[in-house]
Chains A and B, each alone.
Chain A
């Protein structure tokens, strides 16, 4: 757009008058989605505690456990084991914990109700949340990979195209599963209960999710349970692709797909906006 070719705009009136005459109409979906995503991202990056949860904890775990090297790492550097694990943790903390807590309070403060009174369709609200989650995960992934490389991480992909394909599949399934669980919690529990439960589940899944030590360290019965939890499935799948240079195998993909279908289905069924 060049200013010279446009007709000169009318001079502004002395006192800026508001034209309150009705001109109702919904914005195009693209504009709504952009606005919603921008808002979600802004708020997410503004909140100190969510930055802590989504960035500092995974980075801290990565640095700490790489340095102390207490982990059984079958002849390889601990960092090769840790990077896929903390990537899985980052997906979980962003899509599940952070989203559950934020959405729980949005519901409590009537934000979802109020936005429900604008032309914004609910699916656009959820799409905006999802896009913001994906953007934050991308930032985290870049940061974690950079820190990992600095610590001597030696990724072994099953070829670039196949590697990226598998990673995308795992991350999409994991994001769907964790977002579904987070929204299910936020849409059914009180905000305080969501806060407590989301943090509790985060800690639990961090411990039994194969994030900082392998599931083989767990007692047999606990391991059997942990295997079918989404965090373990995601970290195992990511580890196969990033550390072993092979496909994730059927197990993790099926586990994640089941969680994704169940969680999204339940959230769609039981989420209450008010």
Chain B
């Protein structure tokens, strides 16, 4: 087992009755990185993560977490792995600070619960509020704090920013980046493209229990299909001439009189070729825009469906 892989999932299958929640998934998580499992509702993210946490047993395939088996070696893994469930997991009547203290008491050298509560914005009256009366976002932040209070080397965060307002979301992103900077390996799930793009070193796009693409955000948005370049210019330009000046495979079209769209693998030489052709023809393009693919575009392309926001 290589030390550089914190998590290795190979050909994982999990079926519930008729539902194939996970249908042959494989991916790896490099130590010290942030990996995002990105996919729509019901894609199998929670199932996969909970198999890695040892809560559920796979029907087929292998899962190694820190080189160990999540179920058989559970006792050895639990001190080293932090867990944030998608929901629940708290005594409804326990106050936030009691819950955090309880989990801290299970670990050898935990973070100071008060400092951590302050960090996730739960100091003061929220710390003394029973869990069931905390707002959804406060519950999420307590759950995150519980995942990291034991100073784990690997954390699984199941939708860490679901239900958070913009400010809390950014605070959580900062905290996750700080975890990575401190050497903690992070596996998180999300439906939010911008979150995966912003946080993750490695994104695993899942849909219907399968991995449909994986790579860094840059790799995912660069590779595969083409980008678009749009500009406005007088209508009636001879596009066959333009295409002759561009690398093979490029396409160009005019829409709605004077709105031009050029498709191709858009890199700096491609852009230079388009503008050089315009200059050579005495055309001044306006509104020139290069549209790079976002993860959202990648996702829509790969799955033919839109993600919920």
Contact = CB atoms under 8 A, between A and B. Distances in A.
Interface of A: 16, 18-27, 31-32, 34-36, 39, 42-43, 46-47, 105-106, 109-111, 113-114, 116-121, 274
B278 interface: no
A46 B238 CA distance: 81
Contacts of B178: 18, 20
Report whether over half of chain B's contact residues are helix, strand or loop; otherwise say mixed.
Answer: loop
B174 to A, nearest CB: 11
Nearest to B82: A117
Contact of B150 (A24, A35, A116): A24
A24 B107 contact: yes
Interface residues of B, number: 44
Nearest to A118: B106
A240 B138 CA distance: 55
A39 B94 contact: yes
B184 A25 contact: no
Contacts of A116: 55
Interface string B66-99: 0000000001001111010101111111100010
B90 A26 contact: no
Contacts of A22: 80, 151-153, 182-184
Given A34-B105, A105-B92, A24 B79 contact: yes
Interface core residue of B92, B102, B112, B182 (most chain A CB under 10 Å): B102
A43 B94 contact: yes
Contacts of B92: 105, 109
A162 B266 CA distance: 92
Contact of B79 (A26, A31, A114): A26
Nearest to A28: B108
A117 B83 CA distance: 7
Contacts of B78: 26, 117-119
Contact of B89 (A16, A27, A110, A120): A110
Report whether over half of chain A's contact residues are helix, strand or loop; otherwise say mixed.
Answer: loop
A23 B179 CA distance: 13
Contacts of B80: 22, 24
B118 interface: yes
Interface string B25-43: 0000000000000000000
A120 B150 CA distance: 12
Contacts of B83: 114, 117
B87 A36 contact: no
B91 A43 contact: yes
Contact of A18 (B108, B116, B153): B116
Contacts of A34: 105
A16 B116 CA distance: 10
Interface in B138-185: 146, 148, 150-153, 178-179, 182-184
Contacts of B218: none
A125 to B, nearest CB: 10
B276 interface: no
Nearest to A109: B88
Given A23-B151, A24-B153, A32-B106, A42 B98 contact: yes
A130 B85 CA distance: 27
A273 B184 CA distance: 29
Contact of A19 (B55, B107, B111, B152): B111
